Amino acid sequence: MNKIKDLNPDERPYEKCVKFGAEHLTDAELIAILLRSGTRGESSLSLANRILHPVFSQEGILCLHQWTYEQLMQIKGIGQVKAVQILCLAELAKRLAKADAGQELNFNSPETIARYYMEDMRHLKQENMKLLLLNTKARLISESDISRGTINSTVISPRELFVEALHKNAVSIILLHNHPSGDPTPSKEDILMTRRVRDAGNMIGIELLDHIVIGNNCYVSLREKGLI
């Protein structure tokens, strides 16, 4: 492919950004600017396209969250510096999305909770469950990862869950976990486990406010569905 300098000025990512604004750049052009240079016989734009379209994903720019340092280092033209830059870009994007969602976070609103934790959880390859502990004013005391499962299951112990809740004087809890498939529809196991946690909480005076299942840019609240 031609080098960037061989392109018409209005087609070069840097010049295009200055003249028209970053919002007019393609995903590949944005990555190319970050990379700064390509390799012998390949422009930074071509290299950016290879990063955005790996063999393990068809998601385009969302694949940035899936790359590991080791995988990036295997790409011709990607060294340590470029690999770290790409990983930091993905992390920065995640933090920006979370910070934006945090402005509207309300622990009485499943929609705002799901939006706040969406970028943390929707890209995970295995199921992961979070426990949110709340005080009497429905404000967050703490959050923790209480279970990491296989590709499609997670195992939690209600006893361990409530030991932590009692230790931190929580009056209510919220559970969140992701479905790596991207479909947040609760399984029978999800529903049964949730009801066990609810019943155990009722016995000791700690209310399960909700269990939210995170999918790919979507969620299901078991409370909203009337399943708890």
Phi-psi region of 63 (alpha: psi -120 to 50; beta: other; left: phi over 0): alpha
DSSP bridge partners of 153? none
Query: Is residue 82 within a helix (H) or strand (E), and if so which, with residue range?
Result: helix 80-102
Model pLDDT, residue 218: 97
Contact 215, 182 (CB under 8 A): yes
Instruction: Please state, as a whole number, how many other Cβ atoms lie within 10 Å of the Cβ of residue 21.
Output: 9
- Residue pair 189/162 in contact (Cβ under 8 Å)? The answer is no
Instruction: Name the residue with tokens 């990379």.
Output: 35
pLDDT < 70: residue spans in the chain: 1-10, 57-59, 150-155
